[in-house]
Structure 1
């Protein structure tokens, strides 16, 4: 499954790169990309693991950049 999420509060390209690297390392993530200009996270993972991956991504982002919020 592939889905895009809005990242509210993303305010620097370096932060976007850090988030992309961290989310890509989560188990079961096939691909993760963060576009700083559009403030979007595109996440790919297996359908049966997707909800779990999204929750892990939210926790990872909260830990690295507490001011950034994922919105569907």
Structure 2
């Protein structure tokens, strides 16, 4: 399944890249892209685990950028 989400309050492009790299390592993620300027994340992931993957990305994002908010 491929979906786009709003990803607010990431402080810098480097933080966005760190979150993207960490999210790409999550089992079931086929492709993920975070655009810092537009504050959007595009995620292509396994349908069966999609909600679980979103929860894991939120958790990882908070460890890298505590103010980041993924609107899913």
TM norm structure 2: 0.93
**2:8 corresponds to which residue?**
8
Q: How does 1:33-52 map to 2 (within 5 A)?
A: 33-52=33-52
1:58 corresponding residue in structure 2 = 58
* 2:20 aligned residue: 20
Structure 2 Cα separation of the partners of residues 6 and 29 of structure 1:
18
State the alpha-carbon separation in 2 of the partners of residues 17 and 8 from structure 1. 14
Deviation at 1:11, TM superposition (A): 2.4
Cα distance in 1 between the residues matched to 2:48 and 2:71: 21
> What value does the CA root-mean-square deviation take over the aligned residues?
0.9
Give the TM-score normalised by structure 1.
0.93
Runs of 4+ in 1 over 2 A off after TM superposition: none
Q: Quick one: distance in 2 between partners of 1:64 and 1:6?
A: 17
In structure 2, the gaps of 5 or more residues are: none
